[in-house]
């Protein structure tokens, strides 16, 4: 989802010397394969949008894969970039790197000040090591390696597999299928009270291009809208856009996750980047794409 959005915006801006490869053709967990690829292609810049991702269910069921595979992917790319003389590297992480009960909104300096949210700590720990690796390279070798931490992303080319997707696309699929099934009731995890922030993927891509075209003065930047809403409000918004008219049942025996994760995006705003797509518009664009690709759900096998 993120990689394709970055590719689209780069192409639209006139960039032509783009190098990209799918996970089917290059296994980033394979160190030698990564070294061979970068040695052959000789990129000037590397944008690391690759990761093993998923929601609470996937993180709970596959902690080792979420820890190890994410570290393999990023370590192979980062270390090979340094060894190959790549001067600019943009590393993409997640807001889950911050402590579970950190003050809101989340500031970059809160990193490593307290314990993580248990439901996704494996993924978070992996991403934290990537952030610190880029910081170390920046400090030791004076290379322009920067980490962008997006809030919850959604948009076209999202993953709608109910076993591994994040909350927004999972809700969208559930409400759509329930509507098709005579407006059957939709059961959602938790209480609906946690607060979440969502960023349309095209805005995330724009932030990456901003980092590409400018030398950012610090090693870590939050990327988000600076606005959030409850999961219940999100569900009601998606329900309205999909046209579902049935009941919503909240299963409070399931975990809520972190109570709130709002990003402080003041640093990016001060540099000149700001999101453009509002949530309702973004959800509508995503649902339109979902309907156009309904026969080709992106299934993820874990």
Taking residues 135-156, report their average pLDDT.
97
Predicted TM-score (pTM) of the model is 0.90
Residue 46's nearest CA partner among 143, 166, 126 is 143
Element containing residue 172 per DSSP (H, E): helix 167-180
Please name every residue paired with 229 in a beta bridge, in sequence order, or none if there are none.
Answer: 196
**Which pLDDT does position 23 carry in this prediction?**
85
Q: Determine how β-strand 88-92 pairs with β-strand 45-48.
A: parallel
Check: CB of residue 278 under 8 Å from CB of residue 154.
no
Count other C-beta atoms under 10 Å from residue 178's C-beta. 21
Rounded average pLDDT over 280-290: 97
Does 159 score more than 90 pLDDT? Answer: no
pLDDT value at residue 49: 94
Mean pLDDT across 8-14: 96
**Binding region:** 92-95, 127, 150-153, 166, 174, 189, 196, 256
At 153, which helix (H) or strand (E)? Answer: strand 152-154
Torsion of CA 293, 296, 239, 284, to 10 degrees: -30
Read off the pLDDT band of 75 (50, 70, 90).
Answer: very high
Q: How far apart are CA 72 and CA 67, in angstroms?
A: 9
Contacts of 229 (CB under 8 A, 6+ apart): 195, 196, 237, 279
Please count the other Cβ atoms lying within 10 Å of the Cβ belonging to residue 140.
9
Task: Give, in order, the Cα–Cα distances in Å from 3 to each of 23, 47, 204, 271.
Answer: 11, 9, 10, 23
Would you please indicate which residues are annotated as catalytic (active-site) residues?
123
Distances (CA, A) of 247 to 29, 168, 182, 188, 258: 43, 18, 11, 11, 25
**Is 209 a residue whose pLDDT tops 80?**
yes
Q: Tell me the pLDDT band of 40, cut-offs 50, 70 and 90.
A: very high
Residues flagged as binding site for substrate: 174, 189, 196, 256
Q: Does residue 180 register a pLDDT over 80?
A: yes
Q: Which is higher by pLDDT, 61 or 91?
A: 91
Q: Does residue 269 contact residue 223 with C-beta atoms inside 8 Å?
A: no
pLDDT at residue 207 in the model: 98
pLDDT (0 to 100) of residue 297:
62
User: Could you tell me the fold of the domain covering 2-159+197-226+261-278?
Assistant: Rossmann fold (3.40.50)
Q: Reply yes or no on whether the pLDDT at 165 is more than 90.
A: no
Among 6-15, 116-125, 201-210, 230-239, whose mean pLDDT is lowest?
116-125
- Distance (Å, whole) CA 111 – CA 108: 6
**Residue ranges for the binding site for NADP(+)?**
92-95, 127, 150-153, 166
- Tell me, what's the pLDDT at 251? 97
When the pLDDT of each residue in the chain is averaged and rounded to a whole number, the result is 94
**In percent, how much of the chain has pLDDT > 70?**
98
Mean pLDDT of 160-184: 92
* Number of Cβ within a 10 Å radius of residue 262: 19
For position 42, what pLDDT does the model report?
A: 96
Enumerate the domain spans of the chain.
2-159+197-226+261-278
Query: Which pLDDT score is estimated for 302?
Result: 35
Q: What is the mean pLDDT of residues 276-284?
A: 98
In this predicted structure, what is the pLDDT of residue 300? 40
Average pLDDT on 107-132 reads 95
């Amino acid at each position: 989802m993120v990689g394709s959005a970055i590719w689209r915006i780069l192409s639209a801006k006139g960039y032509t010397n783009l190098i990209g490869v799918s996970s089917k053709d290059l296994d980033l967990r394979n160190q030698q394969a990564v070294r061979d690829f970068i040695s052959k292609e000789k990129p000037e810049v590397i944008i690391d949008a690759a990761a093993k991702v998923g929601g609470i269910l996937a993180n709970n069921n596959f902690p080792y894969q979420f820890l190890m595979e994410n570290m393999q992917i990023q370590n192979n790319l980062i270390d090979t970039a340094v060894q190959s003389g790549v001067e600019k590297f943009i590393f993409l992480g997640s807001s889950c790197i911050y402590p579970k009960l950190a003050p809101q909104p989340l500031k970059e300096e809160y990193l490593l000040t307290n314990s993580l949210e248990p439901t996704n700590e494996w993924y978070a720990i992996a991403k934290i090591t990537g952030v610190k690796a880029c910081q170390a390279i920046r400090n030791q070798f004076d290379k322009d390696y920067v980490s962008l931490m997006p809030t919850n992303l959604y948009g076209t080319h999202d993953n709608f597999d109910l076993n591994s997707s994040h909350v927004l696309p999972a809700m969208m699929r559930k409400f759509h299928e329930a509507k098709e099934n005579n407006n059957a009731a939709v059961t959602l995890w938790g209480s609906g009270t946690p607060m979440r922030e969502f960023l349309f993927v095209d805005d995330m891509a724009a932030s990456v291009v901003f980092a590409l075209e400018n030398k950012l003065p610090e090693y870590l930047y939050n990327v988000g809208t600076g606005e959030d809403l409850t999961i219940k409000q999100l569900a009601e918004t998606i329900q309205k856009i999909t046209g579902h008219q049935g009941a919503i049942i909240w299963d409070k025996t399931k975990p809520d996750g972190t109570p709130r994760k709002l990003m402080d995006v003041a640093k990016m705003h001060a540099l000149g980047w700001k999101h453009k797509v509002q949530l309702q518009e973004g959800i509508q664009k995503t649902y339109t794409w979902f309907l156009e690709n309904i026969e080709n759900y992106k299934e993820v096998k874990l």
